[in-house]
Amino acid sequence: MIKIFLLLYSTIFIWSVINPKDYFTWFLEVTPAILALIILTFTYRSFKFTPLIYTLILIHCLILMVGGHYTYAEVPLFDYIKEVFNQSRNNYDKVGHLAQGFIPAMVAREILIRKNIINIEAWRNFFIICFCLAFSAFYELAEWWIALIANDSADDFLGTQGYIWDTQSDMAWALFGAILALLLLRKYHDKQLKNI
């Protein structure tokens, strides 16, 4: 599992860094994926996640790397979808924000269960959803801070595409992602947790 993870991660990372639209935007978008790999490397021996969690983290990293390569507003497949469905914007960033809730929800769930932090499922789910929404809000604040510092060079990183409710909809997609993950993956995740 880890060899496949590293092979896919490395392949997409190398593709992503070769001639991206803008290296500053690439760096900003891909930094969370790099941090994830560093954290997973240092914690691998002391805390091995289930295969489900490693797969979800890899998917999230790939989403970040594709967005970093093209910028979230210019991913070709979503330009095509925009034209076919007569949408006003490229919505690849909404996939990223859905993942920003979906994947951290499952990571948090595994940590909370395995460390016996919150044992009552309803309270655990409430905490996970609150955590994911807080994380999403913090990410939006970080985007704002970077935009203030970098001025015009952060436009591709923000990726609002003229949509005034972009920040709020980003957080809503993360919230939806967290709820969806808990509803769809709970039973499958519980089966994998029993095998640890």
> Hey, where are the domains in the chain?
2-191
What pLDDT is recorded for position 160? 55
110 contacts 189 by C-beta, under 8 angstroms: yes
87 contacts 81 by C-beta, under 8 angstroms: yes
What pLDDT is recorded for position 89? 85
CA distance 73 to 67: 8
CA distance 127 to 125: 5
Mean pLDDT by 10 residues, the chain (196 residues): 93 97 92 97 95 98 97 89 86 94 98 97 98 94 83 59 78 97 98 94
Say how many C-beta atoms besides its own lie within 10 A of residue 114's C-beta.
13
CA distance 130 to 22: 34
Among 64, 56, 172, smallest CA distance to 106 is for 56
CA triplet 55, 61, 67: central angle to 5 degrees?
140
What pLDDT is recorded for position 155? 57
**The two structure tokens encoding residue 127:** 């905490």
71 contacts 22 by C-beta, under 8 angstroms: yes
User: 55-106: per-residue pLDDT in tens?
Assistant: 999 999 999 999 999 998 899 998 889 888 888 888 899 999 999 999 999 9
What pTM was computed for the model? 0.90
84 contacts 91 by C-beta, under 8 angstroms: no
**The two structure tokens encoding residue 73:** 């507003």
What pLDDT is recorded for position 145? 86
**The two structure tokens encoding residue 4:** 């496949």
Residue partners of 172: CB distance under 8 A and separation at least 6: none
